[in-house]
Amino acid sequence: MPGSAPLSCLGPWPKDVGIIALELYFPSQFVDQTELEQLDGVSAGKYTVGLGQARMGFCSDREDINSLCLTVVQRLMERNGLSYDSVGRLEVGTETIIDKSKSVKTVLMQLFEDSGNTDVEGVDTTNACYGGTAALFNAVNWLESSSWDGRYALVVAGDIAVYATGSARPTGGAGAVAMLVGPNAPLAFERGLRGTHMQHAYDFYKPDLMSEYPVVDGKLSIECYLSALDRCYSVYRNKIHAQWQREGHRDVRPEETYFDRDVEKAFMKASADLFEEKTKPSLLISSQNGNMYTPSVYGCLASLFAEHSASQLAGQRIGLFSYGSGFAATLYSLRVTQDHAPGSALEKLVSSLCDLKVRLASRQKVSPAVFSDTMKLREETHHLARPQSSQEDASHPRRRPRRRRQHLRPRRPSEDPETLGSEAEDTRHTKLGGAPPPHAPCCPHAVLSDRTNSYI
């Protein structure tokens, strides 16, 4: 795994820029969606089948976006034996805004204090679920530019997805992902192969800055999502000169098929085997933890690696579709290295994610009534400095600033590296900071999306 020494930025264009290491954090408690269906009095399967979610992770009032990101970054650095002076760029993608001026990235800089490294570029990037992808692209562009100084880039995507009482509440979730980006990566970007579409729409937005809850137009959001997917795929396809479209389909406008049940059923039947093979393995985190917003598509990527061995993944291509309401979307692809030998970068990446099922199983199950009470408490204390719930379910210690001064007391690093993959108390930070004072062309191995209930 990468060490602390900076990489050489001299010589030719850096080769195989991509993801070297990946760390995932999710809350230590969840609510069962079947039990939530019963409490809400809805038909059986509305959440578990309709949304594809068996469980939904959630945070108490002791965790916020800062604590989630602090935890996932510290875990990534410790698990991979990295020193903070080996990082030259740190960028955060999030839509969970608790300060209208101060970035989450600046909060994370407290982890760098002991190293003395303050020469770290990047701030926060925001556009609904797309912010993490934009931050990742910025990191890749930095490594492939004249600005690169030979060090790694660190990309963090984190969010807490909560909704007001009603039909949207079961679509929530929470979590954070940290990705180490550099050259000679086991998971490399396919240079130049991106299809992007951006457009103005009010399908999902958060106009009330005093509330965590969004305003959602569900039908419009689905239409925007599918339209963005079609357009991104068209651009991506054109870039690799894949002329696959049949003449008989050219007169059909894609938008006319979005809510056609017959078309949906036909497509699902035709692609069922491909879905089981290529996409379903990536849905572990989505089905067990729910919607994480910006980290969702990268939680799918982690799930894919947790469900396969290094030898199974070697040489494969992975297609990812990232959509953020408002809206911004990109379809792009990654290529897995051929080298899967013991001790290789790919083998280490896969090994670091093989404990996801164990970590998910170790979480605490709470009743729907307790979940509802917790959401009510978050609603009432979102703007307050002092949390009200138990310390046990927190990550980094939460301390909101009093007037103008704020200090983080980081949790102590675990003495046993093996505990870094668990939800043990000493591996989490509590809430701190906040208010101040269809598959891609050429059959990639998997198609991942940041929509938990999407079918591509």
pLDDT above 90 as % of the chain: 68
Binding residues: 221
- Cα atoms in the Cβ-side hemisphere of radius 13 Å centred on 398: 29
> pLDDT tier at 278 (50, 70, 90 boundaries)?
confident
The DSSP annotation for 140-156 comes to: HHHHTSTT--S-EEEEE
Determine the Cα–Cα distance for residues 446 and 317; give it in Å rounded to an integer: 7
Q: Which residue numbers are catalytic? A: 95, 129
Has residue 66 got a pLDDT over 80? yes
CA 427, 90, 288 angle in degrees (round to 5)? Answer: 45
Helix (H) or strand (E) holding 18: strand 18-25
Express as a percent the part of the chain with pLDDT over 70: 80
- In whole angstroms, give the CA distance from residue 89 to residue 112: 12
**244 pLDDT band (50/70/90 cuts)?**
very low
Whether the per-residue pLDDT at 236 is higher than 90: the answer is yes
β-pair type (328-336, 29-32): unpaired
Helix (H) or strand (E) holding 313: helix 310-313
Asked whether the predicted pLDDT for residue 307 surpasses 80, the reply is yes
Residues 6+ apart with CB under 8 A from 264: none
Q: Which run of H or E residues covers position 232?
A: helix 218-239
Calpha distance 213→208 (Å, rounded): 8
- Average pLDDT of the segment spanning 241-259: 59
| Angle 375-376-382 from CA coordinates, rounded to 5° | 85
Global pTM value: 0.84
pLDDT above 90 (res 325): yes
Give per-residue pLDDT as tens, 389-443. 766 555 555 544 433 333 343 454 443 433 333 333 344 665 643 333 333 333 3
Distance in angstroms (rounded) separating the CA atoms of residues 456 and 43: 26
The whole-number pLDDT of residue 419 equals 38
**Which sequence spans correspond to the domains of the chain?**
18-449
Q: Which CATH superfamily is domain 18-449 in?
A: Thiolase/Chalcone synthase (3.40.47.10)
Q: What is the pLDDT of residues 340-357, one digit of tens each?
A: 999 999 999 999 999 999
Check pLDDT > 60 for residue 96: yes
Q: Which residues are annotated as a binding site for CoA?
A: 221
CA distance 446 to 303: 11
Contact 347, 310 (CB under 8 A): yes
Q: How far apart are CA 178 and CA 76, in angstroms?
A: 7
For residue 252, what pLDDT is reported?
63
* Over residues 182-191, mean pLDDT: 97
- The pLDDT confidence band at residue 448, using thresholds 50, 70 and 90, is low
Q: How far is residue 132's CA from residue 295's CA, in Å, rounded to a whole number?
A: 7
Specify the higher pLDDT residue, 1 or 415: 1
Per-residue confidence band for 287, with pLDDT thresholds at 50, 70 and 90: very high
Measured torsion, CA atoms of residues 375, 164, 400, 85, in degrees rounded to the nearest 10 = 100
Q: Render pLDDT for 356-375 as a digit per residue (tens, 0 to 9).
A: 999 999 999 999 999 999 99
Confidence band, pLDDT 50/70/90 cuts, at residue 2: low
pLDDT tens track for 9-41 = 556 779 999 999 999 999 999 999 999 999 999
What integer best gives the mean pLDDT of the chain? 84
